[in-house]
């Protein structure tokens, strides 16, 4: 569904991604793991059209979209649940969700998608008039996922969805990712929580200093001594 080849990204003279290549099969959960500063968010933002690569291709459903503006990437069906939630704090829950449905591809299915989001997160129905900035971190994460789903994506990139959340809420968020995948959504999971990510993913890549250093099934990487020593403290 998504194939990235030889991707180089720079911030000024500093190289954030160095010849990154990976594949996201349709219907899969693919984890991209690594330490803080490894290049995970740079990769997500480049796919999303927020950064222009110096070299390489981002091939989505047979079309190279590297360097496309982000609104065009979204309208192709690539959604993003951003790191830190990034909800509109002064807008209500209902208004935040409406913002997610402004893409041309999503307008016709707005009511159906809203029903789906409210069925998935009943708490959002009860508080739909409440300002998003007054929600807890976990509630904002539900809203961020719901807003993304309002855009009718075929592939969703989750950037550090467990960041700053209590363990019980993390499990709820990851359960949501699993359920969305079972419904047919292709998911890219970018996480510092390596153990949880690898258990969830069918395929995984390890990023270090902007390079892919390991790849394989989530189960294989979970049992790899290099991963266990570097990220799991074992």
Q: Are strands 29-33 and 14-24 parallel, antiparallel or unpaired?
A: unpaired
Q: What is the DSSP letter of 189?
A: E
Structural domains of the chain in order of their starting residue, each with its CATH number: 1-77+154-234 (3.40.50.300), 87-153 (no CATH)
Q: How confident is the model at residue 217 (pLDDT cuts 50, 70, 90)?
A: very high
Q: Tens digit of pLDDT for each residue in 8-52?
A: 999 999 999 999 999 999 999 999 998 888 899 899 999 999 999
Any idea which of 6-10, 117-121, 229-233 has the lowest mean pLDDT? 229-233
At 1-17, the pLDDT tens digits run 999 999 999 999 999 99
The C-alpha atoms of residue 121 and residue 58 are separated, in whole angstroms, by 33
Task: Answer yes or no: is pLDDT of 227 > 90.
Answer: no
**pLDDT score recorded for residue 234:** 52
Structure tokens at 104: 């041309």
Tell me which residue of 40, 5, 35 sits closest to 22, measured CA to CA. Answer: 5
* Residue 210: DSSP 8-state: T
Q: What is the pLDDT of residue 34?
A: 87
- The tokens describing 8, both together, are 């180089």
Measured CA angle at 202 (ends 178, 142), to 5 deg: 25
So what's the pLDDT on residue 121? 92
Q: What proportion of the chain, given as a percentage, has pLDDT over 70?
A: 99
């Amino acid at each position: 569904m998504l194939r990235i080849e030889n991707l180089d990204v720079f911030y000024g003279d500093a190289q954030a991604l160095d010849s990154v290549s990976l594949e996201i099969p349709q219907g899969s959960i693919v984890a991209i793991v690594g330490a803080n500063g490894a290049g995970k968010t740079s990769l997500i933002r480049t796919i999303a059209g927020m950064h222009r690569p110096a070299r390489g291709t981002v091939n989505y459903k047979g079309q190279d979209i590297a360097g496309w503006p982000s609104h065009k990437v979204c309208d192709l069906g690539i959604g993003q649940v951003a790191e830190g939630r990034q909800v509109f704090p002064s807008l209500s829950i209902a208004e935040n969700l409406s913002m997610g449905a402004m893409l041309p591809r999503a307008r016709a299915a707005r009511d159906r998608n809203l029903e789906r989001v409210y069925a998935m997160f009943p708490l959002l129905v009860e508080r739909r008039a409440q300002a998003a900035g007054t929600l807890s971190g976990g509630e904002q994460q539900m809203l961020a996922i719901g807003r993304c789903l309002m855009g009718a994506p075929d592939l969703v990139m989750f950037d550090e969805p467990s960041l700053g959340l209590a363990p019980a809420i993390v499990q709820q968020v990851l359960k949501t990712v699993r359920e969305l995948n079972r419904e047919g959504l292709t998911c890219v999971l970018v996480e510092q929580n390596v153990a949880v990510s690898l258990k969830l993913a069918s395929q995984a890549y390890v990023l270090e200093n902007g390079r892919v250093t390991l790849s394989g099934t989530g189960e294989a990487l979970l049992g790899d001594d290099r991963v266990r020593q570097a990220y799991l403290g074992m």
